[in-house]
Structure 1
Amino acid sequence: MNIKNTTLSFFLLLSVTVFSQELVENKDIVKIEPKLSYLDSIKKTFVKDDMATCVDSLWMKELTNLDLYNNITDDIKNINIDEKVDYELPTALLKERLAAMDAKSPFNIEYNQGLENIIKSFLKYRKKSFERLMAISEYYFPLFEEALAKQNVPLEIKYLAVVESALNPKAVSRVGATGLWQFMYQTGKQYGLKIDSYIDERSDALKASESAAQYMSNMYKIFGDWDLVLASYNSGPGNVSKAIRRSGGQQNYWNIRKNLPKETQGYVPAFLATMYIYEYHTAHGIKPDRAIIKHFATDTILIKKQMTFKQISDLLDVPMAQLQLLNPSYKLNVIPFYHDENHFLRLPQEKIAVFVSNEDRIYAYAEHELNLREKPFQVTKPIFKRDTVNYALQQIKLPKTAYYKVRRGDNLSEIADKYDVAVSDLKKWNKLRSNSVPYGKSLKIITEQSIVRTVKKEPKEETVPLETVSENQRVATSEVKVNKEEELASNPERKDIEYVVQKGDNLGNIAKKFGATLTDLQQWNNLSDHNIALGATLIVAKNEIAITTDKASFSSFKKKNIASVSKKEAAEYYVKKGDSLFSIAKKYPGVTISDIKKWNDIRGEGIKPGMKLKING
């Protein structure tokens, strides 16, 4: 037994020693910190707000759920209010409660069998739906009441949004009515709601509520009865007027109901039944779900640069569903930036605090994300700077496709000469198997267009090499003297060069593009910082000459600005097997097929091995 204990103690002591050594060794290991992404580096600098979040993700999902809207819409469309419903609610008690509601309301809330049937139907089949709706209404009803009170419209109209959209700002009917108040496109436009590719204010709770209140006020001036106003909101004032005429001039909703469209026949009863259930929900055992967020717990901030919900969600740790609920009018989950309009972002108050405290960092991240997008290829006009004394000519090559319609008597060789291209290329571009080409055919000819620009040299006279213009027209490299006074005399017209800011531009890449400095651009355009607006016109060069050339204008430019060109002496070339005029011309910079033909009196493409050709400088 003692031997066992001794052995066990020895092993324990050895294990402790080894473990201790490992701990000592691990102290020397350097932990490698993972590289932070740009998003994480931005968020790491944020000023934190310890305020607990007031939005529960499950409740946010509930607010954007469309099943309530679908269920209530189906009920109103299909319910038969003349069919009795078996539910425990004494008629006498219902009459008493309706009379109490009528005393406090400008609506005509009178008992009738149809209203009793629909109230009992809602209580029997839609109790759970109303528990959820009452939670959502805690967010929207204060906002509705504010808009209705401004227009002196009865506050009970707020229950109409429950019937219209089940309080879902993204609800869209089968005919295109949209938002909490189900505005049609033309009606929304008529009442000043903005609708474009980015924004649909029919889904904006505040603005749509103001428009709905204005509509109700206008309809009351026509009908003078709030029940008829509700009917006109659903079916249009024209259908209500027709129902009045068909009813012999009667103007009580219940007297003209049978002459209204079928959906409108159940519309006002559904509104009154909803009002009753909200008023007496406790008596019927309806317990509203909890409302995690209320409208007064949110706030708005002016957005100064285009941002996406994804960027805001990543930066502020706000669920996308929450952003969509609080900002339902932004159709593409993008908050646009227009120069002539203000757009606002609604957030919970504690997130507003984070946004305001870190606004510069947030916009910097949005700019960073924008710059990562692929930019379209842009070609800008190169320029001659006024204060430049000597120039080295450079070119930007751009492909250019032309089409030539074959005329009577044309052949491929002459057409190739005309455009300074090889016959073999003509055949390849147009899939020709022989040198014959039919009369009237359009031939595709690919050439290159060069844009000539200058590079500033030392402020003294010096020789400048002239680079090639294109593959098919090469200019001999020569030493050129360009004098500032001659250039000023020959090009008297100078002006500032302007550039319109494109999407994705920043001051740095514009300066690089035009060979200017950031300081120059800021001075020329009176900029206090590096911020520039999309579509703004910037001066990118002062008192300069813009030149873009093709072959003809480039030749004119050479004659005008080149003082002297050294010429090479004439050379002789003996044709080898496999040679063509095109391959020979490529051996001599600045020499074309036409030049060789002219110097050697050659017609067509015919040359033979051993033939001596004269090549001038």
Structure 2
Amino acid sequence: MIKSIASFIFLVFIQCTFAQASDKRAANSILIGHIGPNYFKTSQDTLPKVIFVDNSLVSFQNGIYKNRLDSIRKDVDLSYNAHVQKYIDTYINRKEHIGKMLGLSEYYFPIFEKALKEIGLPDELKYITVIESSLNPNAVSRSGAVGPWQFMYTTAKGYGLTMDTYTDERKDPQKASLAAAHYLNDAYKSIGDWLLAIAAFNCGTGAVTRAIAKSGGVADFWKVRPFLPVQTQNYVPAFIATVYAMNYHKIHEIAVKPAGFNTLTDIVPVNRRISISSIAKAAELDINELLILNPSYKKQIINGTNLVPMPLVIPSVTNAAYSSLYDLFNGKADEVTPVPVLSGLKEPATRAIVHKVKTGQNLNSIADLYGVEVQDLKVWNNLKNTSIVPGQTLRLSPSKKSETVKKESSYVHYIVKVGDTLSGIAEKFKGLTVSKIKALNGLSNSAISPGMRLKINKS
């Protein structure tokens, strides 16, 4: 993405002890502190000078590094040369930093991988985030780039991210990753080379295109490199070295440093305005952990609505606890009563919630908004079919009478969690199939979303 000043890539002079000339190289790092109230508070640090080995050992070692890079399963060309080697030497000597990246990657990389896979992009592009932000969702560069992928405001807007009073989606790992995937995909389609697309992520597609023209028109990073901005010349070698260090950390005795927070999580849709501190108090969750998992909420307030529920990431819980948390977080708007989460939540009192049908809405869209089933809407509102009209009022929860019937019915409810699929859910229950789930819940396809309530036949 276009940045007037490179984010987190800072130039340092590297003195070559065995040569007369010095070579300018770029390097970066965000030092990540211990977990606490100021976890991920941005700080900047330049990498130490590159360490060189004796010339008599260079040829032998270079062959080893090249073979290792060649052995990594990849779609991006991980070229090996002296520029890459200098960054490899640097990264493998920053054991604590790489150890932190490995620990944080256990949480963030699956998120990045999912976004890249959705667009059909190479998995190894996820390592860009290590160079950009050191896997820090709260990272802010001197030029104003924000988040794990370091989006500038204008670029982020252009790729559909929201920045308003309450939210900065550049910090949202899921949404920012999808935007980054689209950007990289566009860059690759325009340029036709992955290393140059990665370069474009740093300096912009326009700058890369101009550099290609100056180099003779060949889309080859190493031929184009001299015509790119200095920070971008070093950005790609640093990327390749990062891939190496993260994949061969064991060989270099780099230990994984645990992230310090739960890396197994669930997402709960919240359809009202509520502070994260209130949620933490009510559910007896650690406030610092919730803030780490939900970095995009600028004022630590979730400004969800019935029409646009907002996601809240929480440490993974049991399905029963998830159901209770969903009800708790989406309860009365004035206050939340503290309830222990992991020691058995009390069921909230049944409350009558209604929705006034708007033009263009149907039962399916309304059910999706509130995380309920179409069949339940029909039962709660005595509907014989799915026909509704604008202005019609629909109940969104059962009356006491219907609740009694529900408890005595032959089915149970399953709350869809992040990563769930119909086939996976079917495997959890004896005799259940995908077709049965779809038929019981009025589903026309296999699409489900976190928070959705599915009816499941009792065994």
- Cα distance, 1:62 vs. partner? 10
Secondary structure of the structure 1 residue equivalent to 2:75: coil
Aligned-partner Cα distance in 2 for 1:298–1:87: 47
Contact 1:86–1:120 (8 Å) recurs in 2 = no
Alignment of 1:180 onto 2:148: yes
Alignment of 1:239 onto 2:207: yes
Name the aligned partner's letter for residue 341 of structure 1.
V
Q: Deviations over 1:99-128 (max 9, x none)?
A: 34235323332322121112112223x211
Aligned residue-pair number: 309
Alignment-derived partner of residue 133 in structure 2: 165
Alignment of 1:112 onto 2:86: no
Task: From the superposition, tell whether residues 212 and 175 of structure 1 become closer, same or farther in structure 2 (CA, over 3 Å).
Answer: same
Task: From the superposition, tell whether residues 66 and 268 of structure 1 become closer, same or farther in structure 2 (CA, over 3 Å).
Answer: farther
Aligned-partner Cα distance in 2 for 1:206–1:350: 20
Aligned-partner Cα distance in 2 for 1:257–1:363: 53
Alignment-derived partner of residue 92 in structure 2: 123
Secondary structure of the structure 2 residue equivalent to 1:167: coil
Q: 1:319 aligns with which of 281, 286, 299?
A: 286
Alignment of 1:70 onto 2:39: no
Aligned-partner Cα distance in 2 for 1:97–1:342: 49
Aligned-partner Cα distance in 2 for 1:226–1:526: 53
Alignment-derived partner of residue 370 in structure 2: none
Task: From the superposition, tell whether residues 106 and 92 of structure 1 become closer, same or farther in structure 2 (CA, over 3 Å).
Answer: farther
Aligned-partner Cα distance in 2 for 1:526–1:108: 58
Aligned-partner Cα distance in 2 for 1:311–1:87: 59
Secondary structure of the structure 2 residue equivalent to 1:70: coil
Q: 1:253 aligns with which of 208, 211, 221?
A: 221
Task: From the superposition, tell whether residues 305 and 352 of structure 1 become closer, same or farther in structure 2 (CA, over 3 Å).
Answer: farther
Task: Map residues 471-510 of structure 1 onto 2, 5 A cutoff.
Answer: none
Q: 1:330 aligns with which of 293, 297, 312?
A: 297
Aligned-partner Cα distance in 2 for 1:65–1:349: 21
Alignment-derived partner of residue 445 in structure 1: none
Q: Deviations over 1:504-535 (max 9, x none)?
A: xxxxxxxxxxxxxxxxxxxxx97979xxxxxx
Secondary structure of the structure 2 residue equivalent to 1:307: strand
Contact 1:170–1:180 (8 Å) recurs in 2 = yes
Task: From the superposition, tell whether residues 95 and 201 of structure 1 become closer, same or farther in structure 2 (CA, over 3 Å).
Answer: same
Name the aligned partner's letter for residue 77 of structure 2.
N
Aligned-partner Cα distance in 1 for 2:75–2:138: 30
Aligned-partner Cα distance in 1 for 2:197–2:327: 49
Name the aligned partner's letter for residue 76 of structure 2.
F
Contact 1:316–1:354 (8 Å) recurs in 2 = no
Task: From the superposition, tell whether residues 63 and 277 of structure 1 become closer, same or farther in structure 2 (CA, over 3 Å).
Answer: farther
Alignment of 1:343 onto 2:316: no
Secondary structure of the structure 2 residue equivalent to 1:288: coil
- Taking only aligned residues, the RMSD between alpha carbons, in angstroms, comes to 3.1
- Cα distance, 1:156 vs. partner? 0.6
Which has the higher Rg, Structure 1 or Structure 2?
A: 1
Contact 1:300–1:352 (8 Å) recurs in 2 = no
Q: Deviations over 1:11-43 (max 9, x none)?
A: xxxxxxxxxxxxxxxxxxxxxxxxxxxxxxxxx
Task: From the superposition, tell whether residues 194 and 113 of structure 1 become closer, same or farther in structure 2 (CA, over 3 Å).
Answer: same
Q: 1:190 aligns with which of 134, 158, 163?
A: 158
Q: Deviations over 1:462-508 (max 9, x none)?
A: xxxxxxxxxxxxxxxxxxxxxxxxxxxxxxxxxxxxxxxxxxxxxxx
For normalisation by structure 1, the TM-score amounts to 0.46
Contact 1:151–1:214 (8 Å) recurs in 2 = yes
Name the aligned partner's letter for residue 347 of structure 1.
I
Q: Deviations over 1:167-200 (max 9, x none)?
A: 0111111111111111111111111112211111
Name the aligned partner's letter for residue 75 of structure 2.
P
Q: 1:303 aligns with which of 267, 270, 276?
A: 270
Aligned-partner Cα distance in 2 for 1:248–1:361: 63
Task: From the superposition, tell whether residues 259 and 526 of structure 1 become closer, same or farther in structure 2 (CA, over 3 Å).
Answer: closer
Name the aligned partner's letter for residue 114 of structure 1.
H
Name the aligned partner's letter for residue 197 of structure 2.
V
- Cα distance, 1:256 vs. partner? 2.0
Name the aligned partner's letter for residue 244 of structure 1.
I
Secondary structure of the structure 2 residue equivalent to 1:176: coil
Secondary structure of the structure 2 residue equivalent to 1:256: helix
Contact 2:111–2:174 (8 Å) recurs in 1 = yes
**Superposed structure 1 runs of 4+ greater than 3 Å apart:** 58-64, 86-91, 291-295, 351-356, 358-366, 525-529
Alignment-derived partner of residue 220 in structure 1: 188
Aligned-partner Cα distance in 2 for 1:247–1:363: 58
Aligned-partner Cα distance in 1 for 2:155–2:172: 15
- Cα distance, 1:93 vs. partner? 3.2
Q: Deviations over 1:409-456 (max 9, x none)?
A: xxxxxxxxxxxxxxxxxxxxxxxxxxxxxxxxxxxxxxxxxxxxxxxx
Long gaps (5+) in structure 1: 1-57, 371-524, 530-617
Alignment-derived partner of residue 67 in structure 2: 99
Aligned-partner Cα distance in 1 for 2:248–2:199: 24
Task: Map residues 420-459 of structure 1 onto 2, 5 A cutoff.
Answer: none
Secondary structure of the structure 2 residue equivalent to 1:287: coil
Alignment of 1:139 onto 2:114: no
Task: From the superposition, tell whether residues 91 and 290 of structure 1 become closer, same or farther in structure 2 (CA, over 3 Å).
Answer: farther
Task: From the superposition, tell whether residues 145 and 285 of structure 1 become closer, same or farther in structure 2 (CA, over 3 Å).
Answer: same
Alignment-derived partner of residue 156 in structure 1: 124
Contact 2:273–2:302 (8 Å) recurs in 1 = yes
Contact 2:226–2:233 (8 Å) recurs in 1 = yes
Contact 2:133–2:147 (8 Å) recurs in 1 = yes
- Cα distance, 1:241 vs. partner? 1.5
Contact 1:137–1:167 (8 Å) recurs in 2 = yes
Alignment-derived partner of residue 25 in structure 2: none
Task: From the superposition, tell whether residues 359 and 154 of structure 1 become closer, same or farther in structure 2 (CA, over 3 Å).
Answer: closer
Aligned-partner Cα distance in 2 for 1:163–1:140: 14
Secondary structure of the structure 1 residue equivalent to 2:129: helix
Contact 1:147–1:213 (8 Å) recurs in 2 = yes
Aligned-partner Cα distance in 1 for 2:215–2:269: 53
Secondary structure of the structure 2 residue equivalent to 1:212: helix
Alignment-derived partner of residue 42 in structure 1: none
- Cα distance, 1:92 vs. partner? 2.4
Q: Deviations over 1:245-289 (max 9, x none)?
A: 222324321222222112112111111111011111111110111
Alignment-derived partner of residue 282 in structure 1: 250
Alignment-derived partner of residue 384 in structure 1: none
Task: Map residues 359-438 of structure 1 onto 2, 5 A cutoff.
Answer: 367-368=334-335
Task: Map residues 263-274 of structure 1 onto 2, 5 A cutoff.
Answer: 263-274=231-242
Aligned-partner Cα distance in 2 for 1:352–1:199: 28
Contact 2:272–2:309 (8 Å) recurs in 1 = no
Task: From the superposition, tell whether residues 307 and 90 of structure 1 become closer, same or farther in structure 2 (CA, over 3 Å).
Answer: same
Name the aligned partner's letter for residue 131 of structure 2.
V
Aligned-partner Cα distance in 1 for 2:195–2:325: 51
Long gaps (5+) in structure 2: 1-32, 338-391, 397-459
Name the aligned partner's letter for residue 203 of structure 1.
K
Aligned-partner Cα distance in 2 for 1:303–1:262: 45
Contact 1:301–1:346 (8 Å) recurs in 2 = yes
